[in-house]
Amino acid sequence: MAADADVLVEDFAPGTMEGLGLGYEALARDNPRLIMASITGFGQYGPYRDWKSTDLVQYAMSSFMNLSGTPDREPLQHADGQAQFMAARNAVVATMAALYWQRETGLGQYIDVSTMESIAVQPPFQLTQYSYAGILPTRGREPVLDGAYLQCQDGGYLCMTTTGGAPFEAFAELLGLPELLDPKFSTAEARSENIEELNRLVQSRLKELDRFELFHQAEKSRFVFGVCQTPQDILECPQM
């Protein structure tokens, strides 16, 4: 099968394919065009290459878990198999690039994908921040204007962002908060410097507003908002 294939993807433990006589060098002798991608927890080389691990272990050892969860609790893993997803994505991109090379030169190549390495270099670029700026990122809370779920008038919750294309002045108008038009909130940098005051203003105002009215007004104003529905809300939801 490998003699006629463009790509072979395998995720056995390092050394398994060689032990079967099916390592890349052996297969490439019969098919020099073959691209072989190996996906393992820690890659084919280094002191951890033979360690067994799960997605959770790879997530933790890559440092990504350092940023997952709230600052007053232990680190958490994101939902689903994020480490596996990121490794698979890297394997796909590398394999696509290798196919271009194959079509230009007629030669294949071997791709070694380490799951731990794949997730260690994902956003928010912790290694880059530390290497160049000496910054050690820590867990924080979702920003009020970018994903936090906040309580509204009826005790229900709404999540909002200032993205979507409308100017920040329109956001102030949407909330009925003229205080946000103050120059100290006029730019992203200024809002960051005065974030505690901004958070207090927004959270206090939301407790005076109906979450569904605000949700639909936000849509018309081109802001990305989300409403957290209860079972009662679902029974009254026009979509449902």
Structure tokens at 193: 């410097």
**Is there a contact between 41 and 117 (Cβ–Cβ < 8 Å)?**
no
The answer to the question of residue 138 being in a domain is no
Judgement on whether residues 35 and 88 belong to the same structural domain of the protein: yes
Percent of the chain clearing pLDDT 70 (strictly above) = 99
Residue 230: give the domain boundaries.
146-236
Residue 43 lies in a domain: yes
Tell me, yes or no, whether 170 lies in a domain. Answer: yes
Specify the DSSP class assigned to residue 150.
Answer: E
Q: What residue type is 127 in one-letter code?
A: L
The predicted model gives 193-212 an average pLDDT of: 92
Do 17 and 61 fall within a single domain?
A: yes
pLDDT range class, residue 95, cuts 50, 70, 90:
very high
Q: Look at the chain and report how many structural domains it folds into.
A: 2
- Residues 108 and 198 both lie in one domain: no
Does 158 lie in the same domain as 124?
no
Q: Determine how β-strand 35-40 pairs with β-strand 110-114.
A: parallel
Which DSSP letter does residue 99 get? Answer: H
Residue 189 confidence (pLDDT): 83
Check which CATH number belongs to the domain holding 205 and give it: 3.30.1540.10
Is there a single domain that holds both residue 12 and residue 122?
A: yes
Among 107, 133, 159, where does a domain finish?
A: 133
CATH number at residue 117: 3.40.50.10540
Judge whether 139 and 71 are in contact, CB under 8 Å.
yes
Residue 123 has pLDDT above 80, yes or no: no
Tens-place pLDDT, residues 50-93? 999 999 999 899 888 888 888 888 888 888 888 999 999 999 99
24 & 126 share domain: yes
Rounded mean pLDDT, 141-160:
86
Distance separating alpha carbons of residues 164 and 226, to the nearest angstrom: 13
pTM here is 0.68
The string of pLDDT tens digits covering residues 170-200 is 999 999 999 999 999 988 888 878 888 999 9
Residue 191, pLDDT score: 85
- Residue pair 40/17 in contact by the 8 Å Cβ criterion: no
Domain boundary among 94, 110, 133: 133
Bridge partner list, 150: 158
Q: What is the mean pLDDT of residues 215-224?
A: 90
Same-domain status, 197 and 220: yes
* Average pLDDT of the residues in 162-168: 79
Per the CB < 8 A criterion, the answer to whether 87 and 118 are in contact is yes
Question: Of 104, 133, 162, which residue sits at a domain end?
Answer: 133
For the cut 80, the answer to whether the pLDDT of residue 141 exceeds it is: no
Residue 11 has a pLDDT of: 96
**219 and 182 in a common domain:** yes
Alpha helices in the chain (DSSP H): 16-19, 24-30, 55-61, 82-105, 115-120, 126-133, 168-175, 188-193, 195-206, 211-220, 231-236
pLDDT above 70: residue 215: yes
Question: Which pLDDT belongs to residue 158?
Answer: 94
C-alpha R_g of the chain: 25
Please provide the DSSP assignment of 149-186 as one string. Answer: EEE-TTS-EEEEES-SS--HHHHHHHHT-GGGGSGGGS
Q: How far apart are CA 81 and CA 8, in angstroms?
A: 23
Residue 28 lies in a domain: yes
Residue 73: DSSP 8-state: S
pLDDT of residue 142: 65
23 and 55 assigned to the same domain: yes
Confidence of residue 148 (pLDDT cuts 50, 70, 90): confident
Q: What DSSP character marks residue 196?
A: H
Q: Please tell me whether residues 104 and 194 are part of one structural domain.
A: no
Please name the residues in contact with 234: beta carbons below 8 A apart, sequence gap of 6 or more.
240
Do 175 and 220 reside in the same domain of the chain?
Answer: yes
Judge whether 139 lies within some domain.
no
| 164 assigned to some structural domain | yes
- Domain membership flag for residue 140: no
Q: Residues 9, 128: one domain?
A: yes
Structure tokens at 90: 């890297």
Q: How far is residue 24's CA from residue 38's CA, in Å, rounded to a whole number?
A: 10
CA–CA separation, 44 and 10 (whole Å): 12
Residue 68 lies in a domain: yes
Q: Are 76 and 65 in contact (CB under 8 A)?
A: yes
